[in-house]
Chain A
Amino acid sequence: MLTVCDLHVKYGNIEALHGISLNVEEGEIVALLGANGAGKSTTLMSIMRLAPPEGPVVTKGTISYNGTDLLPIQAHNIIARQGIGLVPEGRHIFGNLTVFENLKLATFARRDRERIQQDYERVFSLFPRLADRRTQRGDLLSGGEQQMLAIGRAFMSGVKFILLDEPSMGLSPLLMLELFRVLKSINESGTTILVVEQNARLALQYANRAYVLEAGKIVLEGKAEDLATNPEIHRAYLG
């Protein structure tokens, strides 16, 4: 579904990714693991084609999605036309809008009106907390609720493929577990997921496959259950 091949990207003069290759098949959950500064978020931003100053500049390599070259496409079309959604690090929800307005905003570029209604119901059944707070302002939600809203919003944009950047950041262990359970359920109903995660143990538990990034290179890849028992991973990330 998504194929990244020999991707080199730069921020200004500093190269952040030194030729990474990865692929995600339809229906999978793929985890991207690694320490701080390894280039996990950079990879997601390159795929989303976010423009500088936030996004990096691709200097070499290819990103293709269902056979389409993503490199010349602008970020807003990645979502609207290609159907890839992003749950950004730090959630980036609109604090001065209500929960429902945030979700509604995500349907900005959608044309399939009858499916939108179904998707609202699906989001509210996945996250009953959001249903309780649908008229509350985004900035009054707890961190966990904001994360749910960010995921719900990506879902409401009607995409087939969701990229998540550190969804468990700042959440309690119980909420993290809950979040990954919901991600699994979204995945089972046909959405492909690529998730960047610091919590390797949790990610490997729910993902099908995983890649390990280190200083802008992929150092390990494989099935999640194999990586979970890999002694090197154990030492570096699972402790």
Chain B
Amino acid sequence: MRRNIPLLGYVILCALTIVLAKADILDLYVQMILMFIGISIILATSLNLVNGYMGEFSVGHAGFMAVGAYITSVLNVMLFTNSSIFGPPLLSPSSAIIFFPLTLLAGGIGAALAGLLVAIPSFRTRGDYLAIITLAVNYIVKSSIENMQVIGGARGFSGMSSVINSMKEVVDLPWTLIWILIATGATVWILQRFVSSIYGKGIIALRDDEIAAEIMSVNTQRMKVVAFMLSSGLAGIAGGLFAHVLGYINPGTFTIMKSTEVLVMVYLGGMGSLSGSVLSAIGLTIALEAFRPLQVYKWVIVPLLLILLMLFRPEGLMGQRELTDVFPRLRRWLGLKPKLSE
């Protein structure tokens, strides 16, 4: 059997992180940044599927994130905690540890269905018009949540910390960090498999020339739906995780600002490069933390960086290349098959 070095490496890295976190060598602040990095990676790579690989321009990623965040949070609070809104827990709080992936998935599915709403008009429009539709969806989601008093409206929704705490009562581990590490690895793996499959290459054909893709017998309409739903579904999962990191969410978190942050990560890393998105998600999250003492001025520095990037390297750090294209030797170290040239 061929050894899967990337997977093995990732598992070791995760195990090490968890052990260090458990031993309090990584303090809570560092853990928090690690968790935000993981969430940013999920958001950036999933948006890259639509904006980079499919060549559409979606600007409402935070909207899908909000859908996932609220569905997962409401389900978890309803099922596992004694809340003032939903009453006593429906299931034993200790079972949260088993059901958490399922509620997370439910959030993802909810967000994917919201993605379907965007995918359908995208058959008839593209370019700027689609950007406007996704922008509208972002606002529709935010305003709908603001007006749903049951889940707190504009005041926000909390109670997720006790879900995490009940997991910790069963086994005392940094559970949020663990779920995020698993979800991040799974997302990058799924997207990498998807865009390198023959089926997924239909998306790239669609970006380069829609008519040509159609007459090469690519089902362009289904491709768009699949890509949109996969991308928004993963954003929903990121949202669910995000809600459990903070323990509190409000609609104001999921505005166009958040969407823009993700967009910047995608364009910084390079459209059509998964490793680029991963690198820029890591880099930008750390940079935003480093700039925190500058307070509001960080929103001067970050856009400035983006302008400089657009001037001097408009295709992003990696362009359409992956790390293994930039450093071909990496392929051998990682035990990957050599790239086919013809």
- Assuming the contacts A88-B212, A92-B212, A94-B209, asked whether A76 and B218 have C-beta atoms less than 8 A apart, the reply is yes
**Please, which residues of chain A bring their CB within 8 A of the CB of B218?**
76, 108
**Please, which residues of chain B bring their CB within 8 A of the CB of A157?**
215-217
Q: Within 8 Å of chain A (Cβ to Cβ): is B332?
A: no
Q: Within 8 Å of chain B (Cβ to Cβ): is A132?
A: no
In the complex, the chain B residue whose C-beta lies closest to that of A156 is B216
**What is the 8 Å Cβ interface bit string for chain A, positions 34-60, against chain B (1 contact, 0 not)?**
000000000000001011111000000
- Assuming the contacts A52-B124, A94-B205, asked whether A88 and B217 have C-beta atoms less than 8 A apart, the reply is no
Q: Is the CB of A94 within 8 A of B214?
A: no
- Chain B interface size, as a band, is 10 to 19
- Assuming the contacts A51-B123, A53-B124, asked whether A88 and B216 have C-beta atoms less than 8 A apart, the reply is no
- Assuming the contacts A51-B123, A53-B124, asked whether A109 and B211 have C-beta atoms less than 8 A apart, the reply is no
CB distance from B125 to the nearest CB of A (A): 8
Q: Within 8 Å of chain A (Cβ to Cβ): is B324?
A: no
In angstroms, Cα B216 to Cα A2, docked, is: 21
In angstroms, Cα B215 to Cα A52, docked, is: 14
Q: Within 8 Å of chain A (Cβ to Cβ): is B31?
A: no
Looking at the complex, which one of B208, B212, B217 makes contact with A109 (CB distance below 8 Å)?
A: B217
Q: Is the CB of A86 within 8 A of B215?
A: yes
Using a CB-CB cutoff of 8 Å, which residues 85-144 of chain B contact chain A? 123-125
Looking at the complex, which one of A75, A96, A101, A135 makes contact with B215 (CB distance below 8 Å)?
A: A75
Q: Is the CB of A94 within 8 A of B211?
A: no
**Please, which residues of chain B bring their CB within 8 A of the CB of A85?**
215
CB distance from A98 to the nearest CB of B (A): 8
Looking at the complex, which one of A52, A53, A79, A96 makes contact with B216 (CB distance below 8 Å)?
A: A79
- Assuming the contacts A51-B123, A53-B124, A100-B342, asked whether A108 and B217 have C-beta atoms less than 8 A apart, the reply is yes
Q: Is the CB of A48 within 8 A of B209?
A: no
Q: Is the CB of A48 within 8 A of B208?
A: no
CB distance from B209 to the nearest CB of A (A): 5
**Please, which residues of chain B bring their CB within 8 A of the CB of A177?**
none
Using a CB-CB cutoff of 8 Å, which residues 187-232 of chain B contact chain A? 198, 205, 208-212, 214-221
Q: Within 8 Å of chain B (Cβ to Cβ): is A1?
A: no
- Chain A interface size, as a band, is 20 to 34
Q: Is the CB of A88 within 8 A of B211?
A: yes
In angstroms, Cα B123 to Cα A51, docked, is: 9
**Please, which residues of chain B bring their CB within 8 A of the CB of A154?**
215
In the complex, the chain B residue whose C-beta lies closest to that of A107 is B216
In angstroms, Cα B211 to Cα A53, docked, is: 11
Q: Is the CB of B215 within 8 A of A48?
A: yes
Using a CB-CB cutoff of 8 Å, which residues 185-233 of chain A contact chain B? none
Q: Is the CB of A76 within 8 A of B219?
A: yes
**Please, which residues of chain A bring their CB within 8 A of the CB of B125?**
53
In angstroms, Cα B216 to Cα A135, docked, is: 20
Looking at the complex, which one of A48, A76, A153 makes contact with B220 (CB distance below 8 Å)?
A: A76
In angstroms, Cα B342 to Cα A79, docked, is: 25
Using a CB-CB cutoff of 8 Å, which residues 268-287 of chain B contact chain A? none
Using a CB-CB cutoff of 8 Å, which residues 50-90 of chain A contact chain B? 50-54, 74-77, 79-80, 85-86, 88
Looking at the complex, which one of A76, A101, A105, A153 makes contact with B214 (CB distance below 8 Å)?
A: A76
Looking at the complex, which one of B123, B211, B214, B216 makes contact with A106 (CB distance below 8 Å)?
A: B216
In the complex, the chain B residue whose C-beta lies closest to that of A81 is B217
Q: Is the CB of B208 within 8 A of A76?
A: no
**Please, which residues of chain A bring their CB within 8 A of the CB of B212?**
88, 92-94
Q: Is the CB of A88 within 8 A of B215?
A: yes
**Please, which residues of chain B bring their CB within 8 A of the CB of A54?**
210-211
Q: Is the CB of B205 within 8 A of A76?
A: no
In the complex, the chain A residue whose C-beta lies closest to that of B219 is A76
B residues near A (Cβ < 8 Å) are 123-125, 198, 205, 208-212, 214-221, 342
Task: Identify 8 new A-B residue pairs, CB closer than 8 A, beyond the known A48-B215, A50-B214, A54-B210.
Answer: A51-B123, A76-B218, A92-B209, A93-B209, A105-B205, A106-B216, A108-B216, A157-B215
Subset of 7 A-B contacts with CB under 8 Å: A51-B221, A74-B219, A74-B221, A92-B211, A94-B208, A108-B216, A108-B217
A residues near B (Cβ < 8 Å) are 48, 50-54, 74-77, 79-80, 85-86, 88, 92-96, 100-101, 105-106, 108-109, 135, 153-154, 157
4 tightest A-B CB contacts, nearest first: A92-B212, A109-B217, A80-B217, A79-B217
